[in-house]
A = this chain, B = another copy of it.
């Protein structure tokens, strides 16, 4: 008997392309970032500012998120901005600040690369190369990033299907690089009360279709600071392997995305709550780095 689904069918004919498919590789891929493992039973938390703005802003935020238990630091040096008149990032100066803050804190760095010509430069400073939403189908960039040998954080395009997302990851694996982390960060829909619609069902869907780790960005996914904590908890509850969140030591003065950045107090409280949720599903937040890694 026919069901209600007639004109909104689940795309059941779909299967993941071969290299990313769990059918080909049943066991989880574990991405290894300087000994820190993503995609295993422990949950990774990546925190930091949207953009690197200054030494003070970066170091203050980095020290604080480390103390609260972040495992890695995010921060943009090259920023994709809809308008040519918006702050475009500090460029290589930002990369150098990221390098210095890693030396001090021991936190591995995630930063975005936007241009095939800059892959080598960015890769020489960062621990994970991020390919952002707007570049999810920038195929030359996917290939070049894949060839860098660095782990890649690939964000879902804001209007990309799960199938296209997996095909984009396949471009990277096809370069011989299996160290790929997928990130759901909200899709574009008709709803305007949030910046994007965070598609958490992508998490169990991706975990079923591919062996790659899956993390969630509730900051871009909602665009609203107060909504980051509940959606971060939900992401863990439905099986995400980690979170990437915007945290700023003074969101009111941020050069970008301040309205969606947690302040340090909010971030601290959230980390406490995330530990409880993780335990309830039989997982744990990855332990923060021992302080003696600092130097």
Contacts and interface: CB of A to CB of B under 8 A. Distances in A.
| Copies of this subunit | 4
A191 B187 contact: yes
Interface in A1-44: 1-11, 14, 17
Among A14, A255, A277, find the residue whose CB has the most chain B CB atoms closer than 10 A: A277
A195 B70 CA distance: 35
Contact of A237 (B158, B190, B230): B230
A81 B276 contact: no
B255 A1 contact: yes
A270 interface: no
Given A83-B2, A187-B189, A234-B238, A200 B198 contact: yes
Interface size, A (range): 35 or more
Contact of A277 (B258, B259, B280): B280
Interface stretch (A57-65, A101-109, A131-139): A131-139
Contacts of A192: 7-11, 161, 192
Interface of A: 1-11, 14, 17, 80-87, 114-117, 134-135, 137-140, 157-164, 167-168, 170-171, 174, 187-201, 203-205, 208, 221-224, 226-227, 230-231, 233-239, 255-259, 273, 276-277, 279-281
10 contacts: A3-B259, A5-B223, A5-B259, A82-B164, A84-B167, A197-B201, A198-B201, A200-B200, A200-B234, A277-B281
